[in-house]
């Protein structure tokens, strides 16, 4: 057997152990629609590992960006460091697909396309992704239908008026290239601090525009349908959010924290009624990250007035009936303060 085939077999074995191959094999229309509306989520393997990626040690120090990554494994019950990224990344965006961890953003330089990287937990190594074909003010990753998608935002003038250019690209791993799927121009310039997440056939974005801390001005709460190839306007969140967290847990979308009035709030999106509903309040903080682990919604890091200092971890059981309460005792704190990290859950 040739060496490269041996490497491929290692990757396939990891996918089988992670129960991710059935997800790809069953990703037909029925399953796609079911996941889109939060049904039959038990078919998919639930994440049992959490990766906390990058961020900053000090919100006031732009040179305190981190290239370190730590992972929480339920079997070990602790956060442990893994191989560092090739560069430090403040406010990175990350997602997982095919048993690998993809990271982008937070490390780009003016005038140069952003370079992402991918981590293979089987080989315990990082590799560079092909650079994006153009620059953006903000780049974000999301997983949908087993693939990695990038949504980029940038300022552009159209007929002499400011617009926000929004592009969506899919990373074609077997060809190591970015495939552009959609381009859109929204009047008014850059939307502001944005977050994206994938669910079913859709990529969701929650963003609020200019103003003090991004909490004033226009907002954008929409979804791009990858099958129908169109944008869908959704109900606005109950409070305007900037520097917030956006994630999926048990087939539902959650929006957590942010600056200003949003800092200690959490809300859940109901696909069937197109409504956001508040759930139990969180610790007051912004630049927080969130992900699912073992059916629970986990938040890490961030910064707030109550001496959070970027290491605090909160847990809430969102699948329970009745009143849900956040707990700070579910997981141990991070080993390193992280303000504006990325957090990704992966199956094992």
List, for residues 209-243, the tens digit of each pLDDT value: 543 333 345 578 999 999 999 999 999 999 888 88
- pLDDT value at 6 more than 80: no
**Tokens representing 90?**
């403040």
Residue 200 predicted with pLDDT over 80: yes
Q: What pLDDT, in 10s, does the model give residues 301-326?
A: 888 765 455 667 777 765 443 346 67
Q: What's the full length of the chain, in residues?
A: 348
Q: Coil, helix or strand for 177?
A: strand
Strand-pair partners of 51: 71, 344
Q: How far apart are CA 93 and CA 103, in angstroms?
A: 6
Residue 23: exposure state from Cβ atoms within 10 A (0-12, 13-18, ≥19): buried
Tens-place pLDDT, residues 146-156: 999 999 998 88
In order of start, what are the domains of the chain with their CATH numbers?
Answer: 3-346 (2.120.10.80)
pTM over 0.75? The answer is yes
pLDDT in tens, 165-187: 999 999 999 999 999 999 999 88
């Amino acid at each position: 057997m040739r060496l490269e085939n041996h490497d491929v077999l290692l990757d396939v074995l990891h996918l089988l152990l992670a129960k991710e191959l059935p997800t790809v094999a069953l990703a037909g229309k029925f399953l796609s629609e079911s996941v889109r509306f939060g049904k039959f989520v038990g078919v998919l393997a639930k994440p049992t590992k959490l990766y906390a990626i990058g961020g900053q040690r000090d919100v006031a120090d732009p040179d305190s960006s981190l290239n370190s990554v730590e992972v929480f494994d339920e079997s070990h019950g602790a956060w442990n460091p893994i191989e560092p990224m090739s560069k430090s990344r403040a406010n990175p965006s990350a997602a997982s697909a095919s048993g690998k961890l993809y990271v982008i953003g937070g490390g780009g330089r003016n005038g140069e396309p952003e370079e992402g990287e991918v981590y293979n937990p089987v080989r315990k190594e990082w590799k560079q992704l092909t650079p994006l074909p153009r620059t953006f003010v903000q780049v974000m990753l999301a997983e949908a239908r087993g693939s990695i998608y990038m949504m980029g935002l940038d300022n552009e003038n159209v007929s002499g008026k400011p617009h926000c250019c929004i592009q969506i690209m899919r990373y074609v791993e077997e060809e190591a290239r970015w495939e552009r799927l959609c381009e859109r121009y929204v009047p008014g310039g850059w939307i502001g601090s944005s977050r994206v997440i994938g669910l079913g056939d859709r990529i969701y974005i929650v963003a609020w525009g200019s103003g003090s801390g991004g909490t004033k001005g226009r907002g954008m709460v929409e979804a791009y349908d990858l099958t129908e190839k169109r944008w869908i306007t959704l109900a606005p969140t109950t409070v305007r959010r900037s520097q917030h967290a956006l994630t999926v847990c048990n087939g539902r979308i959650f929006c957590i924290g942010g600056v200003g009035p949003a800092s200690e709030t959490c809300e859940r999106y109901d696909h069937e009624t197109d409504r956001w509903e508040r759930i139990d309040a969180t610790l007051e903080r912004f630049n927080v990250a969130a992900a699912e682990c073992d059916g629970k919604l986990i938040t890490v890091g961030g910064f707030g007035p109550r001496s959070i200092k970027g290491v605090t971890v909160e847990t809430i059981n969102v699948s329970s009936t009745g009143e849900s309460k956040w707990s700070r005792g579910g997981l141990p704190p991070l080993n390193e303060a992280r303000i504006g990290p990325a957090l990704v859950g992966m199956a094992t």
